[in-house]
Structure 1
Amino acid sequence: MAGGDLGLRLSERRVQDDQSENTHDAIPNGALNEDPDTQAGVARIEAVSRTWDNPSLIIAYLTLFLIANVTSLELQVTSLMTPYATSAFQQHSLVSTVTVVQGVVSAVIKPPMGKIADVFGRLESFTISILLYTIGYIQQAASTNVETFASAQIFWAAGFNGFQILQQIFVADTTDLSNRALFSTLFDVPFLWMVWAGPELSTNILDSTTWRWGYGIWAIIMPICFIPLAGSLWWSQQRAKERGQAIPSALRGQSKFQVLENLWIDLDVFGLLLLAAAVSLILLPLTLAPSAEGKWRNPSMIAMLVTGILFLIVFPFWETSTKLAPRAFFPPNLFRNRTIILGTLIAFFYFMAFYMSVFPYFYSYLLIVQNKSITTAGNITRVFSLSSTVSSIVVSLLIKFTGHYKYYVTVGSCIYLLGMGIMFRYRNEDASTATLVGTQIAIGVGGGFLNVPVQLGVQASASHQQVAAATTVWLTLLEVGGAVGSAISGAIWSTYVPRKLQQYLPAETVANATIIFGDITMSSDYITYPHGSPTRIAINRAYQETMRLLLIGALIAATPIVPLTLFLKNYKLREMKQPVEGRVIGSAERRTGQNGGFWQRWSRRQETSI
């Protein structure tokens, strides 16, 4: 019996069993049932999917992989250009402001971009992202003051993060559940080699021209790289039309007013504004308060946070009202889905713990307490990203060949928590470089095994119409968790380090406590304050004890992840009906009813070999 036929029969039998035994559980039933309210953008990609051919899919994925290489290199280069850009305007201290703007926009842009993809289509939303991305870099390269440079981050962050979420949505459109984790990880792979190329390219740019070209070149490169993907999607859409597939338009209505009214409903504009306002008003005080004058005693910070929380509370009431939000961005049944709720909580705590341990102060700790060079400290902090990327590839392969995801989430959460514990244990200044690297490997492996399968579980819980909403909300909560962790770590660092320096520094240097805290070159200066000197002992003790508090917070944040993973629904990915219409990579059959094709033959060979 052919592997594909056997898989299909088992899938159909399992679906019938699941539906008869568990009809009240929204998902996977939600993923198994057709959605009667499929929006125009989703209908477009489903029409295209029914007529996909191998060259179109291959071109699309090769282009996305090429763009992943470009964006990985671009991030390495521009992160090193920002200090030079702000310094050119005599405003180097505003580097943190630029980072805050990027962070807030990165979190806010994901939900509307996912909704645009559902309403207008994948090609249209990809094009919007590239356009915003290009405008952002043109504005950064041409900026004449720091205000213009900072405002350009809005366009760049919207374009960049919009494109990242669209990559994941496109993977969900074109792969079955067993292969989705593997293809989702594909776009992280370029980091393994681009991380080393970025500093070299940055040096060459600064040596041969100005920092402006460090931004301007991407406004040329990205649109050119996007052309094959746009061509593939456009050509496939035209072919679908020729074969009689319906390609609906979001611009429907007999008058301009009706068109605008339908768009208002289809885009769930008020719901998206409510969510964007809530996330922005929560993230801004969380990221700004640690460095603001008066900190949390500042009434504007409290007002923003309270208003943001109120908006966040109102959001689910709006979304669950069929009268107010007939085309809700986050459909009511997703609010009741166990795996989606648990998955978003896991993402929140995962990033919260990360931003209280590995980033942003571990690098400073390595320079000050461990007396590592800039290169060594940078390489140690990169170990997390390297190990998490490699482990995400490994777990994606395991998911593909086993058809399960939940076990790896639980294993990953345990390794992640263990890594945090080891990092806490070896935070002392006499820890070896190998030990420090080992802690980052453990946390990275845990993160890789945790992050990718959780996203897959959330996507598996949603229908094709709802997968964009589920993915974007998951990624948004990930960002919010990072902002909360960053705010807590910033508050601890800025409160306890100065206090402990005042407490421990000897009388001859206690007057320099503020300078030592404010200037990392001073606190890490082992020539002025050598090993064994009273001042060095005091500095290291202050930073080491503060790092201990941060890691206690990280352990507390990481602990709930383990029990949360136990309550995820244990989907058997091979036995679930795929929530995507048309031809997908790895599917045992073509949903158009035709047999054969490269992806189908490849999938059957894999199933037969297991």
Structure 2
Amino acid sequence: MSGVTYGNNVPPDYDIESKQNATPFDEEKGVNSSDGNELNYDDASSGASVINAGTAKVEAAQQVWGKTSRAFLFLGLGLAVYVYSLDGVTTWQYLFYATSAVGAHALSGTVTTAGAIIIAVGKPFMAKLADTIGRAETYIVVTICYIIGYCLLGGAQTIGMIAGGKIMYSLGYTGLQLLTSIVIADMTTLRWRGLVVAFVSMPYVLNSFVSGEIVTAFIPGRWRIGYFMFAILVPVCVLPIVFTLLWAQRQAKKLELLKPTKLEEAIKTKPLQSIKVFFAEMDAIGLILVAASLSLLLLPLGLTNRTGSLDGWKEPGNIVMIILGFALFPCFVWWEIKYASVPLMPLRFLKNPSITASLAISFIDFVSFYVVYVYQYSFFAISKTGVWTVREQSYFQNTMTIALCVFSIPTGYVMYKTRRYKNMLVFGLLLRLLGVGVMIRSRGSDGGAFELVMCQLMQGAGGAIAAVTTGIASQAGVTHADVGTVTALVLLFAEIGYSFGSTISAAIWTNTYRSALAVHLPTLNSSAIDLLYSTPTSVAVLAIDDPIRVGTIAAVSSVMKTLCIVATVVAIFPPIIAWFWMEDYELGDVQNVYDGRDLLGNKVQEGTGDKEAEQARAARV
């Protein structure tokens, strides 16, 4: 807390002279302005958007922060990412024991599917909330969701409590993930953003090693404590961010750098009218339509993924849900074009090559990755148990996570030095393609340890490059007001890719593994084949040279080969899209290149949107 004063005092590292020379404040818009360079994106000629409350608050806060308070904010970000990553690698393992404790383990797959859908559709909601009420205020909402979710899970006595806890937790989880990305974009210029994203992800490396010890301490008998622990840790770790943001907003108001938002004014003067304002700025109808559409599409994918059988697609309910999901999407587009005053997905996004390329790459890359990843554990349990120690298997499982974090640092550094990202993106996607292609051999029964590890490293390195570059490429081409929405869309498309990839993987596994077992173990009867199929890891107790295990390894290797071929074919498309479709903006000392403004909202260079506006005006003349 040193150096950050809460109350009426100006922070000790606050440069009052430079702030007095800052650009004047436009009371009508609630943001900074100077000689016609207002931070107002409501330019009909360019089709851009009006600055929102969340952006106005953070840009005003930028003028109040000094070195100490800014460092305190980044410390808070680091703590939030640490607890978020620790949560992600531990608590999912408690669900088996939670559902078993209430006698409803058979429904654990359904609960997991519901949570996955909330994580996906919750991203646009959290992005709009952060833009409508502010970053700090949304952090508070996210923390409340976490606390309620973990308390329900930790104290669950019925499957209903578990389902409710999972839904609330998923809202908090997806919100914390998204807010971290948004605040980093708020606080960093394009040139530095890649490095900051890389360093903030480093807690995943540490948690890859400590997660096993933590999980071992809480399962099987103390899983409730494992949930309750995070109900305490999350608010404690998020608290520094919330305090720093709220303090900065308060100081900015005192210095008349920030005026009350339209929603805040409505709450004070016309409480009932404020509800209408809130729903309009949230684009509530658009959120409902897109959430319903995605839920109806993802639910049958998730449920079918649990069984893997193609018979699931013959169920009338699944078919109806998919048809309704696709039918609702045109309704969403129609609403966004005709009626939405603050659209969730502005059509100008579809005209931006960097955004559409980032969305396509995120979706396809995740499809390719999860086609193989879903059954990776089963493959290694069958083929490597007894060959590798438990510790070696654990280290291998964490190899890709570590590579994703470690290789993001040189990626960010190259982007900082060259001020470009397109060549790095193409290189990373080609490296990922190579890693997937080599898996066609290494995932077979004759794959050596070196090949297996190298595949993980290549995919991790390529994935790190792709994740950092696509995220920044999508943010670079939009105004600061649009950063939250475009970030949510990129993450959303990745989640949809995960669902599609998992479904493809489950369908291939379920419809080929049984027949592969029959081919490679012709002496076994159908009952024995069914047992090996339903409990594939049970064969791991047999000696590595046992004929049944040898046949099972051959069967699983043939299925994994098919999965790897499919994943390789899919992975061909992202580098092509990146090379021919992606823009290569210069990563300068600006928040974005669309309007060429810095972190304070001041115009410092010509933006790509300025050229679009000129062209639009010329066309009208």
TM category (shorter chain) comes to 0.7 to 0.9
Q: Deviations over 1:51-109 (max 9, x none)?
A: 22222211111011012222222333313322222222233343323321221111010
| Helix, strand or coil at the partner of 1:448 | helix
SS in 1 for 2:395: helix
Q: Which residue of 2 aligns with 1:386?
A: 402
Identify unmatched segments of 5+ residues in structure 1.
Answer: 1-27, 585-589, 595-610
Aligned equivalents of 1:111, 1:190: Cα separation in 2? 26
Assess if the C-alpha contact under 8 Å between 1:352 and 1:485 holds in 2.
yes
**Counterpart of 1:418?**
434
Distance 2:507 2:280 in 1: 41
Q: Deviations over 1:351-383 (max 9, x none)?
A: 1111012x2211211121344454433322221
Aligned counterpart in structure 1 of residue 424 of structure 2, from 400, 404, 408: 408
Asked if residue 242 in structure 1 is aligned to residue 259 in structure 2, the reply is: no
Residues 86 and 146 in structure 1, CA contact (< 8 A), matched pair in contact too: yes
Q: Offset at 1:276? A: 0.9
1:404 is paired with a residue whose SS is coil
With over 3 angstroms needed to count, the CA separation of the structure-2 counterparts of 1:373 and 1:363, relative to structure 1, is farther
Equivalent pair of 1:501/1:510 in contact (CA under 8 Å): no
How far off is 1:231 after superposition?
Answer: 1.3
Measured after TM superposition, the shift of residue 388 of structure 1 is 1.4
Judge which range, 105-114 or 429-438, deviates more: 429-438
Residue 233 of structure 1: aligned partner: 245
User: Does residue 556 of the first structure (1) align with residue 572 of the second (2)?
Assistant: no
Q: Which residue of 2 aligns with 1:77?
A: 90
1:273 aligned partner: 288
Contact 1:370 1:429 in 2 (8 A): no
1:429 aligns with 2:436: no
Look up the match of 1:188.
201
- Counterpart of 1:114 (choices 110, 127, 130) is 127
CA–CA distance in structure 2, aligned partners of residues 227 and 33 of structure 1: 39
What CA distance in whole angstroms lies between the structure 2 residues aligned with 1:296 and 1:246? Answer: 54
Structure 2, unaligned stretches of length 5 or more?
1-40, 605-621
Q: Secondary structure at the match of 1:244?
A: coil
What residue identity is the alignment partner of 1:457?
Answer: A
Match of 1:100 among 113, 116, 119: 113
CA contact (8 A) 1:136 1:155 kept: yes
Which stretch shows the higher mean deviation, 379-388 or 255-264? Answer: 255-264
* Structure 2 counterpart of 1:344, one-letter code: L
Larger mean CA deviation between 511-520 and 169-178 belongs to 511-520
- Structure 1 residue 260 corresponds to structure 2 residue 275: yes
Instruction: Check if 1:486 corresponds to 2:498.
Output: no
- Is the 2:84–2:176 contact (alpha carbons within 8 Å) kept by the matching residues of 1? no
1:248/1:307 CA distance change after superposition, 3 Å: same
1:60 is matched with 73
Give CA deviations for 1:384-439 in whole Å, capped at 9, x if unaligned. 11111111121011111211111110000110001111111222212211211111
Residue type of the partner of 2:330?
Answer: I
Q: Which residue of 2 aligns with 1:17?
A: none
* Distance in 1 of aligned mates of 2:253 and 2:603: 19
Q: Work out the CA distance in 1 between the residues paired with 2:115 and 2:92.
A: 12
Q: Name the structure 1 match of 2:513.
A: 497
What is the distance in 2 between the residues matched to 1:124 and 1:495? 48
Letter in 2 for 1:221: L
1:42 maps to which residue? 55
Q: Does 2:151 match 1:134?
A: no
Please say if residues 109 and 306 of structure 2, whose CA atoms lie closer than 8 Å, have aligned partners that are also in contact.
no
CA distance in 2, matches of 1:360, 1:59: 39
8 Å CA contact 2:305, 2:502 repeated in 1: no
Instruction: Give CA deviations for 1:565-585 in whole Å, capped at 9, x if unaligned.
Output: 01211111127674699974x
Contact between 1:459 and 1:470, CA under 8 Å: does it hold in 2? Answer: yes
Aligned residue for 1:368?
382
2:236 is the alignment partner of 1:224: yes
TM-superposition CA deviations, 1:188-246 (whole Å, max 9, x none) = 21011111111112223348x72110000111122122222211111111110111112
The one-letter code matched in structure 1 to 2:336 is E
Whole-Å Cα distance in 2 between the matches of residues 577 and 547 of structure 1? 44
* SS in structure 2 at match of 1:524: helix
Q: What is the one-letter code of the residue matched to 2:315?
A: N
1:49/1:582 contact within 8 Å kept: no
Cα distance between partner residues in 1 of 2:237 and 2:141: 15
C-alpha separation between the residues in 2 aligned to 1:223 and 1:577?
29
| 1:439 equivalent in alignment to 2:451 | no
| Correspondence for 1:332 among 347, 366, 383 | 347
Moved more, 483-492 or 289-298: 289-298
Rounded to whole Å, the distance in 1 between the matches of 2:392 and 2:532 is 22
Letter matched to residue 61 of structure 1? F
Aligned residue pairs, count: 554
After alignment, is 481-490 or 262-271 more displaced? 262-271
Shift of 1:143: 0.7
Whether the 8 Å contact between 2:589 and 2:598 is mirrored in structure 1 is: no
Q: Is the 8 A contact 1:70 1:222 kept in 2?
A: yes
CA distance in 1 between counterparts of 2:590 and 2:601 reads 14
Shift of the alpha carbon at 1:280?
1.1
Give the CA deviation at 1:309: 1.8
How far apart, CA to CA, are the structure 1 residues paired with 2:144 and 2:303? Answer: 29
Which amino acid is the alignment partner of residue 312 of structure 1? F
Q: More displaced, 542-551 or 119-128?
A: 542-551
Question: Closer, same or farther in 2 for the Cα pair 1:303/1:378, shift >3 Å?
Answer: farther
Q: Is 72-81 or 177-186 further displaced after alignment?
A: 72-81
**Residue 520 of structure 1 pairs with residue 520 of structure 2:** no
Match of 1:202 among 209, 215, 223: 215
Partner of 2:335: 318
Output the CA distance in 1 between the equivalents of 2:488 and 2:432.
24
Partner of 1:305: 322
- Do the aligned residues in 2 keep the contact of 1:362 with 1:381 (CA within 8 Å)? no
Residue type at the aligned position of 1:308: G
Moved more, 81-90 or 247-256: 247-256
2: distance between equivalents of 1:577 and 1:361? 41
State how far apart, in whole Å, the 2-side matches of 1:575 and 1:200 are.
43
- The CA distance in 2 between the partners of 1:181 and 1:95, in whole Å, is 38
Alignment partners' CA distance in 2, 1:172 and 1:266: 21
Q: Are residues 370 and 225 of structure 1, via their aligned partners in 2, closer, same or farther at CA, if it must alter by over 3 Å? A: closer
Aligned partners of 1:229, 1:356: CA distance in 2, in Å? 37
Q: Tell me the CA shift for residue 29 of structure 1.
A: 13
Cα pair 2:362 2:493 within 8 Å, conserved? yes
Worse-superposed segment, 73-82 or 434-443: 73-82
Distance between the aligned counterparts of 2:415 and 2:495, measured in 1? 25
* Contact 2:302/2:499, CA 8 A, preserved across alignment: yes
